[in-house]
Amino acid sequence: MRLDGKIALITGAGRGIGRTMALTLANAGADLCINDVNLDAAEETAEEVRALGRKAIAVKADVGDPGEVDAMVTRTIEQLGGIHILVNNAGIIDQGVPTTESAIEKWDEVFRVIVRGTYLCCRRAGQWMVEHRTGKIVNISSVAAFTGLAPRPAYVPAKGAVVDLTHTLAVEWAPYGINVNCIAPGFCLTPMSIEAFKRAGADLDKVGKNVPMGRLAVPQDLADATLFLVSDLSDYITGVTLPVDGGWLVYRTLPRG
């Protein structure tokens, strides 16, 4: 699967899944805009992309801020030459405390980053894609969107909204040759999940053994699925949410023993 001549923007690509996605798309030939709120982390990923022989710019922007998103996409178009691929990967998780004790500010922040951020990036990149009648968008949801994972009163419905946003944009933009799809990762070993599991006192080994495939996801599992969905091989696929979860969603029980 080659992406030569394509320009991709990945949000939250300073670490974790987004970083591996950036390196995978670069290995396939794409030039990259690496976004993160953490500029140092974004610069590090961009440097790794350049070491692979591809062009990369690192852009600090909060995906929940319309002005910063507009400026980031404009810069991508001006400096790299367009935006054929958008991966909405940036995300944060809520506190993991009982809903009765949860902070409304945190709820707003989770929705701001995950839902508003995905909408804003799609909206701005979509302007270029509609005009040029081409584009591949991959939104990152979660298996949480299809479960009652608790206590996550912000994260779970926010990830559900990402699935729904994918549906409506897929229909609206299909006539323009734009594919809008979604990936629902299962539990994946990244700084975000390791911190969340630690706070919940969960045993990572047990969680991994409870997945039908016997292990947690690694970022490369998600990056490979993303590569497929942004490549020509998925040209007739739009509006779908692909679980990449080792079979967890069709099994869905708690660890035992």
Ligand X SMILES: NC(=O)c1ccc[n+]([C@@H]2O[C@H](COP(=O)([O-])OP(=O)(O)OC[C@H]3O[C@@H](n4cnc5c(N)ncnc54)[C@H](O)[C@@H]3O)[C@@H](O)[C@H]2O)c1
CB within 8 Å of 11: residues ≥ 6 apart: 18, 35, 36, 63, 87, 88, 89, 90, 117, 121
CA distances from 138 to 9, 48, 89, 176 (A): 11, 22, 8, 16
Stretch that binds ligand X, among 29-37, 74-82, 127-135, 248-256 (CB under 6 A): 29-37
Q: How far apart are CA 72 and CA 33, in angstroms?
A: 9
Tally of helices (H runs) and strands (E runs) in the chain: 9, 7
Residue 49 has φ and ψ, to the nearest 5°, of -65, -45
Q: Judged by CB, which is closer to ligand X: 38, or 131?
A: 38
- Residue 105 is a binding residue for ligand X (CB under 6 A): no
- Residue 10, beta-bridge partner list: 34, 87
- Residue 242 is a binding residue for ligand X (CB under 6 A): no
Question: Does 243 sit behind a cis peptide bond, omega within 30 degrees of 0 on the bond before it?
Answer: no
- Residue 18 is a binding residue for ligand X (CB under 6 A): yes
Task: Give min distance, CB of 8 to ligand X, in A.
Answer: 16
- Residue 185 is a binding residue for ligand X (CB under 6 A): yes
Number of residues engaging ligand X in binding (CB under 6 A): 30
- Residue 64 is a binding residue for ligand X (CB under 6 A): yes
Radius of gyration of the chain (CA): 17
Q: Give me the active site residues, please.
A: 155
Q: Which residue among 2, 38, 47, 174 contacts ligand X (CB under 6 A)?
A: 38
- Residue 59 is a binding residue for ligand X (CB under 6 A): no
Task: Give min distance, CB of 4 to ligand X, in A.
Answer: 26
Q: How far apart are CA 229 and CA 137, in angstroms?
A: 8
Stretch that binds ligand X, among 56-64, 123-131, 203-211, 248-256 (CB under 6 A): 56-64
- Residue 53 is a binding residue for ligand X (CB under 6 A): no
Q: Judged by CB, which is closer to ligand X: 76, or 193?
A: 193
- Residue 37 is a binding residue for ligand X (CB under 6 A): yes
- Residue 33 is a binding residue for ligand X (CB under 6 A): no
On whether the CB atoms of residues 89 and 182 are closer than 8 A, the answer is no
Task: Give min distance, CB of 187 to ligand X, in A.
Answer: 5
On whether the CB atoms of residues 170 and 136 are closer than 8 A, the answer is no
Contact positions vs ligand X (CB under 6 A): 11-12, 14-18, 35-38, 41, 62-64, 89-92, 113, 117, 140, 142, 185, 187-188, 190-193
